[in-house]
Amino acid sequence: MEREDREVLLCPICGCDQCVLPAGVPDIGSAEADTVLFCSVCGGEFTKGQMQAVQWSSASADLSAVEQEVLRQLEEQMNASFS
Ligand SMILES: [Zn+2]
């Protein structure tokens, strides 16, 4: 039950955890930053490095760059509709 130590990387596109490692890579921990993974949910293709840059589900209060961008766009839309 050492699951806390496991590196959990989520799809940077849809945020799911159903990303498929390429053949020859037994687990995410042994993947290189430029290892290309595929998402079995949205079909996205991205590298481990990209996944690491987007930490959707980290329990910390830090918002990922994507989340910040989404929030910023939402804010802009709000501002636009109220002005
Ligand atoms: Zn996905």
C-alpha 71/C-alpha 24 separation (Å) is 38
Task: With cut-offs at 50, 70 and 90, classify the pLDDT of residue 80.
Answer: confident
Tell me the domain boundaries of the chain. Answer: 19-81
12 Cα: distance to centroid of ligand 1 (angstroms)? 7
82 Cα: distance to centroid of ligand 1 (angstroms)? 34
Q: What is the pLDDT of residue 83?
A: 65
pLDDT digits (tens, 9 = 90+) for 6-30: 667 789 889 888 889 999 999 888 8
19 Cα: distance to centroid of ligand 1 (angstroms)? 7
**Distance linking the first and last C-alpha atoms of the chain:** 53
Task: Give the range among 44-48, 62-66, 69-73 with minimum mean pLDDT.
Answer: 62-66
**Protein residues near ligand 1, an ion, with CB under 5 A:** 11, 13-14, 16, 39, 41-42, 44
26 Cα: distance to centroid of ligand 1 (angstroms)? 20
Q: Which two tokens stand for residue 7?
A: 């590196």
Q: What is the pLDDT of residue 8?
A: 72
21 Cα: distance to centroid of ligand 1 (angstroms)? 13
Q: What is the pTM of this model?
A: 0.57
Residue with the larger pLDDT of the pair 34 and 82 = 34
Residue with the larger pLDDT of the pair 5 and 41 = 41
Q: Which two tokens stand for residue 79?
A: 């501002």
C-alpha 12/C-alpha 16 separation (Å) is 8
